[in-house]
Amino acid sequence: MIGSSELAQEFWADGKSESCPIYDMHGHMGVWHSIYFPRPDAPDMVGTMDECGVRMLVFSHHMALYAPDIANRSAVDAVRQFPDRLRAYCAVNPNYPEQLEADLQTFEEHADVYVGFKFLPDYHKIALTDERYLPAWEYANEREMLILTHTWGHSPFDGPEIVRQVAERYPEVKLLLGHSCHGEWDEAVQLARDFPNIYLELTAIFDDREILEKFAAEAGSDRMLFGTDLPWFDPHQAVGALLSAHISDDDRHNICHRNAESLLAPYLNDGS
């Protein structure tokens, strides 16, 4: 066993929970150079989701992060293949601003697919404050959409000081800090305290013991979001860590589904 709570017993026995569905707010899809993924495609990923009790995955396609003209199409196709299980972030590569312009012109045609945008500044080597992101920031801010951005401690592209600047400029964006400024935990907490539109997303944090407790105590579990980078990481590993952490089942419900359900409500017409 990994704990004595009702949720721990349920996940240990069944691998999933009827009362605590999971919304994974940080996923990907497809191959990645030099990396071995046993289950990189939509049908296999949905199979994993079934086993782990993941009701919904919000993802950006790996290929779209580098060649968005090619692969945002792949994300659209995957969501339309599994409309009850998948939603996507429109991937933005600021090295190709003309592609962002094209995506924005057709954005409303994909209202059944996109919940917002995904930025990957550390990999694109372009800071969140760069003007090439501006059309996406403004589009999302006007519509109170979600932006999931990779963030990492001490990064000149997406570290906490950079995040603070864009959070001040775009107060209507639902700003999801992917990896929660990994390593600069106090700064991540302070951002969540200072900006009501900021959420701490937990991909790659489930293997860092005591950070879940810190975030829940200092930022509040109502500001934390479950994420795995699927197909990178097994959701069961994340759930096992969540059940091992010294937090309450009420916190776990917030992290696994309540916060995400609130954020995604405008995009899930049937309430699924």
Partner 1 sequence: MVCVICDHGCWGMDRMFRPLLERYPNVHVDIAQYLLDGGIECLVADYGARRILFGSGFPESYMGGMMLALKHARIPDEAKIAIAGENLERILGEAQL
Longest dimension (CA), the chain: 53
CA distance 60 to 198: 20
Instruction: Give kind and range of the element (H or E) at residue 207.
Output: none
CB of 244 to partner 1, least distance (A): 3
- Do 131 and 73 touch, CB atoms closer than 8 A? no
Q: Which of 74, 133, 149 is nearest to 99 (CA)?
A: 133
CA distance 166 to 150: 14
Q: Which of 236, 233, 225, 234 is nearest to 198 (CA)?
A: 225
| One of 230, 256, 260, 264 touching partner 1 (CB under 8 A) | 230
- Do 183 and 154 touch, CB atoms closer than 8 A? yes
Q: Which of 41, 40, 95, 42 is nearest to 69 (CA)?
A: 95
Q: Residues with Cβ < 8 Å from 104, sequence gap 6 or more?
A: 135, 136, 139
Site stretch for partner 1 (CB under 8 A), options 101-109, 122-130, 216-224, 240-248 = 240-248
> Is residue 231 within the footprint of partner 1 (CB under 8 A)?
yes
Q: Residues with Cβ < 8 Å from 249, sequence gap 6 or more?
A: 5, 6, 7, 20
CB of 24 to partner 1, least distance (A): 11
| One of 143, 154, 193, 209 touching partner 1 (CB under 8 A) | 209
> Is residue 21 within the footprint of partner 1 (CB under 8 A)?
no
Q: Closer CB to partner 1, residue 38 or residue 271?
A: 38
| One of 37, 82, 96, 107 touching partner 1 (CB under 8 A) | 37
> Is residue 88 within the footprint of partner 1 (CB under 8 A)?
no
CB of 259 to partner 1, least distance (A): 21
> Is residue 232 within the footprint of partner 1 (CB under 8 A)?
yes
> Is residue 214 within the footprint of partner 1 (CB under 8 A)?
no
Q: Closer CB to partner 1, residue 229 or residue 261?
A: 229
| One of 100, 145, 245, 255 touching partner 1 (CB under 8 A) | 245
Q: Residues with Cβ < 8 Å from 129, sequence gap 6 or more?
A: 162, 165, 166
- DSSP letter for 255, please: I
> Is residue 96 within the footprint of partner 1 (CB under 8 A)?
no
> Is residue 248 within the footprint of partner 1 (CB under 8 A)?
no
Site stretch for partner 1 (CB under 8 A), options 98-106, 123-131, 238-246, 257-265 = 238-246
Q: Closer CB to partner 1, residue 13 or residue 265?
A: 13
Question: Which positions lie near partner 1, rule CB under 8 A?
Answer: 2-3, 11-12, 15, 32, 34-39, 44, 48, 51-52, 204, 206-209, 228, 230-241, 243-245
